[in-house]
Amino acid sequence: MGRYLLRRLLQLVPVFIGTTFLIYWLVWAVPGDPFAGKCGERPCPPGFVAMMTEKFQLDQPLYVQYATYMKNLFQGDFGTTFGNRSINEIIATAYPNTLKLAVVALAIEAIIGLTAGVVTGLRRNGFLDNLVLISTLFLIALPIFVIGFVLQWVLGVQLNIVEPTVSSEMRLSELIVPGFVLGSISMAYIARVARTSISENRRSDYVRTAIAKGLPMRRVVGVHLLRNSLIPVVTLLGTDLGALMGGAIVTEGIFQINGIGRIVYRSIVTKESATVVSIVVILVLVYLLMNLLVDLLYAALDPRIRYE
Amino acid sequence: MRVSKRTSGAVALGAAVALIASGCSGSDDGGDAGNTADGAIVIDGTQPEVPLVPANTTETGGGAIIDYLWTGLVEYPNNGGAPQNAVAESIETTDSKVYTIKIKKGLKFHDGSEVKAANFTKAWNWAAYSPNGAQNSSFFADIQGFADVQSEDPDADGPQKAPPPKAKELTGLKVVDDYTFEVTLAAPTAVFPTKLGYSAFVPLPDVFFTQTPEEFGKKPVGNGPVKFVSWEDDVSIKLTRFDDYTLRDKMKIKDVDVKLYQEDTAAYNDLLAGNLDFQQQVPVSALAGDKWKNDLGERAIQSTTPSTGIIAFPMYDAKFKDPKLRKAISLAVNRQEITDKIFFGNRTPADSWANPLTPGAVAGNCTACQFNADEAKRLFAESSGYQGEMVFYYNADASHKDWMEAVAQSVKNVLGINARAEGIPTFAVFRQQINAHKMTGPYRAGWQQDYPDVENWVNPLYVKGGSSNDGLYSNPQVDTLAKEASGAANLDEAHAKFAEAVKIIDADVPSIPVYFQGQQSGHSDKIKKVELTNVGEIDITSVEL
């Protein structure tokens, strides 16, 4: 286990360097001079362009820029934007918001998705099963921005039950609707995967044995059945958490949440390479660690899986 | 001009001239005086791209905040008329070259220090000095000695650094006493006093020069009707009434919270739910079928703004050398249909070269702006003709596709030229190609005036070397007339000369004015009275609750 963990952690190093360089190169290769459109329908004054070019080393070759960036990165300095904002600060304010939203979304999709999956998996072909089948199909078919706009319009503007946008305090009550929107599609998938997995295992020998030896149904489902059926669901949830922590450009935009997705989008558009790379660096780390965590969770759920 | 970042390079949706007092029954007005006096409003804005330094801000997000925080020498009335003195007591000149500017005594910055003549001259010197890299530095090019405070990078993008400029200060600025200074221009410029209302010319307090511009810009100190309270990035900027303000436009309410939105649809929903008190431009999605008017009722504000959507010709391309061809193309564009069908009547067809709201502009002086298919065909037949495909270019990251395609289709239908529209992915790439003079077809341009005078619609756009004459149009007659106009002894003479210059421009058709921008704003129930400024921003000093 220890050696496995060490090996996995060491693998992170080349992946980390490779991805950062790739992203740096890609942003650098996005066509367009960052100062061409800055001053509207007229070119920027040469004094401004000269100052910015020198400050951000834009006249240096790519590898020099990348090396300087990495040097600062290892000293914990992500650099500044063209507007002279500290990227460390931007990430420090935006990331907790994204995390909160991700956790709420994950909780909603896990609770609702799993419950629906278990209930329908145990009672297949009933009314409830068909209802879940149709409603999940509906959710999967709808693009996320449609769900977002509709809920915002109906709940926020028409019925006025919730505020249409999230305030800067990010209260939990405000996050339920955006969390639901963000988690809705995964929720549908989780319900379906859980249903299939449960109904499949329901007919397996060990469940029959458990029932035959007189265990109460609660224990059969709660301990034996659920634990074995959870592996595919955990995989889904794990990768989803990785994706959710990468920010949600659409959901954050609709509900005015100051999260990482919005910032990445804006930075790509304005060619703020330092910001894009810095955030992606963090996302890469998060994603790799989440994957590692999921792999370790398998072993906890299924004792047959061993890591050496 | 300031560029709007939310629409990535669309012409900044600016400007309204109408005085809008929205309906409210007179009965409850009497009891509301107290509400107004310590009232607070939330208005929409966007995150300023750079710290709030007036001479370094060229986009609408930061520009609006700077307009609230500062008052300049002159101010532009909300009705778009001629500028009036604000901080200035008087601006006098005998030859349009040397100006003596007296400022009012006893005016204060928000930190309590007095506004003196040196606060202007030092601010302007800072902005003009090229190593400071101010984005608005070109506004000071009129002043004597500007060339000496500039330095060019000898190899542009290369590793060499620009040498320091020859001089540190503009020779044309001289402080006479604490409340008087003298400005000597490089050449007579009648419109100079009008320019002084632009935000690049505001005074900076002494504290600006004791810290870095970045530090100052995070906690700006101005001299306007509101002072800065706090700024939470991407969330909000809070402003409050400056009680020691003594000029005309005092605040009637107390607090203004500028909420920084990324999506205009989010702001619009907040407006409908009563969480937002003013939105300058409602989203495009609300314009279709006049949905916004149904949603907002009496709280909807329709206004026209001094900006024009233009299609410019790359005059450096031999294909577009013939003025007859250019005029034929312009006459082939059905502007009325485009504004009706694509903009739902929210914009109006352009029929003059300068926006008609501008002082000195002549309404309807663009004879090339009519839709006249027969005349277009006749001129096209007389012209040198056009071989191959004609591509109209636009930046695809803002909503220009529909109307540019309509223009191309209109030209195709009338003249039989194989015309189509093509998007260039981003505004940055688009501008890069325009700046490098590499366009191979007519391209979308737009112009919002920096200051209200017809000069701003001629010199930057159609005079050789003009800051936005990207198509490299050049006609010696226009240049001469514009130079005479700029150097005229007074504005009336200047306007008369500019009118002559525009006549020649009208015959040459270096660009195609297509539509005058309109603005659709909305406010909450809470606001009983509001006016928009000459560029369409909310005039926060007019707000009554």
**Residue A45 within a domain:** no
Q: Residues A93, B233: contact at Cβ < 8 Å?
A: yes
Residue A210, domain extent: 99-306
Contacts of B516 (CB under 8 A, 6+ apart): B304, B305, B307, B308, B309, B347, B348, B349, B350, B355, B356
Instruction: Kindly list the residues from chain B whose CB atom is less than 8 angstroms away from the CB atom of residue A154.
Output: none
Query: Each residue of A8-56: pLDDT tens digit?
Result: 888 888 888 888 888 888 877 777 777 777 777 777 888 888 888 888 8
What pLDDT is stored for residue A63 in this prediction?
86
User: How confident is the prediction for chain B on average, in pLDDT?
Assistant: 88
Across the interface, do B266 and A156 touch by the CB < 8 Å criterion?
no
**Please, are residues B108 and B100 in contact by the beta-carbon 8 Å criterion?**
no
Distance CA(B273)–CA(A157), nearest Å, equals 5
Spatial contact of B110 and B222, defined as CB atoms under 8 Å apart: yes
Chain A residues whose CB is inside 8 A of the B59 CB are 40
**DSSP 8-state symbol, A155:** I
Q: What is the ipTM of this complex?
A: 0.78
Q: Can you read off the two tokens belonging to residue B533?
A: 């400024």
B50 → closest Cβ in A32, A83, A262 = A83
Report yes or no on A7 lying in a domain. Answer: no
Number of neighbouring beta carbons within 10 Å of residue B232: 12
Which of B145, B193, B135 lies closest to B166, judged by CA?
B145
Is A57 a domain residue? no
Q: Is A248 on the interface with B (CB under 8 A)?
A: no
> Measured between alpha carbons, how far is B418 from A70 in angstroms, rounded to an integer?
51
* CA-based nearest residue in chain A for residue B60: A40
Assign residue A193 the CATH number of its domain: 1.10.3720.10
pLDDT of residue B251: 93
Q: How far is CA B23 from the centre of its chain?
A: 29
Q: Average the pLDDT over B387-407 and give the result.
A: 91
d(CA B365, CA B402): 27
Q: Which of A36, A44, A156 sits opposite B269 (nearest CB)?
A: A156
What percent of chain B shows pLDDT beyond 70? Answer: 92
pLDDT digits (tens, 9 = 90+) for A172-203: 888 999 999 999 989 999 999 999 999 888 88
The beta-carbon neighbor of A84 closest among B214, B234, B430 is B214
| Confidence band, pLDDT 50/70/90 cuts, at residue B10 | very low
Q: Is residue A38 part of a domain?
A: no
Q: Using CB atoms and an 8 Å cut-off, which of residues 167-206 of chain A contact chain B?
A: 168
pLDDT of residue B87 exceeding 80, the answer is yes
> How sure is the predictor about B15, in pLDDT bands with cuts at 50, 70 and 90?
very low
- The pLDDT of residue A47 is 80
Of B48, B151, B431, the CB nearest to A37: B431
**What was the pLDDT predicted at B11?**
32
Q: Are strands B389-395 and B418-424 parallel, antiparallel or unpaired?
A: parallel
Q: Do B275 and A165 touch (CB under 8 A)?
A: yes
Cβ contacts of A160 on chain B, cutoff 8 Å: 273
* Among the partner residues A45, A152, A256, nearest to B137 by beta-carbon distance: A45
Mutate to test the interface with B, among A30, A33, A38, A42 (most CBs of B within 10 A): A42
**Per-window interface: A 273-302 vs B, CB < 8 A:** none
Whole-number Å distance between alpha carbons of A133 and A125:
10
Least Cα distance to B59 among B126, B133, B124, B1 occurs for: B1
Which residue in chain B is spatially nearest to A168 when comparing CA positions? B235
pLDDT at residue B12 above 50? no
Residue pair B217/B211 in contact by the 8 Å Cβ criterion: no
Give how many domains chain A has, as a whole number: 1
Q: How far is A281 from chain B (nearest CA, A)?
A: 22
- pLDDT at residue number A163: 85
* CA distances from residue B361 to A53, B208, B456, B463, B467 in whole angstroms, order as listed: 40, 38, 10, 17, 20
Local confidence band at B14 (pLDDT 50, 70, 90 cut-offs) = very low
Instruction: Look at B293 and A58; give whichever has higher pLDDT.
Output: B293
Both structure tokens of B212:
């870095």
Q: In one letter, which amino acid is B498?
A: F
Q: Which residues of A touch B310 (CB under 8 A)?
A: none
CA distance A102 to chain B (A): 20
Strand partners, B446: B309
Residue A213 is encoded by which pair of tokens? Answer: 């030896």
**Which chain B residue lies closest to A271 (C-alpha atoms)?**
B428
Which of B126, B155, B232, B265 to mutate to probe the A interface, most A CBs <10 Å? B265
- Is A9:A288 a contact under the CB 8 Å cutoff? no
Which residue of chain A comes nearest to B263, CA vs CA?
Answer: A253
Domains by residue range for chain B, with CATH: 40-277+524-539 (3.40.190.10), 307-518 (3.10.105.10)
Give the pLDDT of residue A308.
61
pLDDT at A238: 81
Closest to A152 (Cβ–Cβ): which among B150, B159, B269?
B269
d(CA B540, CA A169): 26
Contacts of B467 in chain A (CB under 8 A): 42-43
A236 within domain boundaries: yes
Cα–Cα distance for residue pair A296/A83, rounded to 1 Å: 42
Residue B420, burial from CB neighbour count under 10 angstroms (0-12, 13-18, 19+): middle
Interchain CB contact of A85 with B (< 8 Å): yes
Kindly state whether residue A111 falls inside one of the protein's structural domains: yes
Task: Provide, as residue numbers in chain A, all residues whose Cβ is less than 8 Å from the Cβ of B132.
Answer: 47, 51
Instruction: Please report the DSSP string for B449-474 in residue order.
Output: -SSSSGGGGTHHHHSTT-TT-TT---
The partner residue sitting opposite B232, judged by closest CB among A42, A168, A269, is: A168
**Which pLDDT does position A4 carry in this prediction?**
80
Say whether pLDDT at B124 is over 90.
yes
Stretch (H or E) spanning A26 = helix A2-29
* A268 assigned to some structural domain: yes
> CB of A48 within 8 Å of any CB in chain B?
yes
| Overall average pLDDT of the B501-515 stretch | 94
Contact A149 B265 (CB under 8 A): yes
* A38 part of contact set with chain B, CB < 8 Å: yes
Q: What was the pLDDT predicted at A247?
A: 66
- Please, which pLDDT band fits residue B92 given cuts at 50, 70 and 90? very high
- Given a cut of 50, the residues of chain A with pLDDT beneath it are none
Lowest mean pLDDT among A287-301, B88-102, B215-229, B277-291: A287-301
Whether the per-residue pLDDT at B1 is higher than 90: the answer is no
| Residue with token string 């006549």 | B503
Q: Is residue A11 part of a domain?
A: no
Q: Do A48 and B430 touch (CB under 8 A)?
A: no
Residue B3 confidence (pLDDT): 56
Amino acid (one-letter) located at B20: I
Q: Which amino acid is at B528?
A: K
- Scored b (16 or more CB within 10 A) or e, B422-438 reads bbbebbbbbbbbbbeee
Across the interface, of B131, B232, B428, the residue whose CB is closest to A34 is: B428
The pLDDT score that the predictor gives to residue A78 is 85
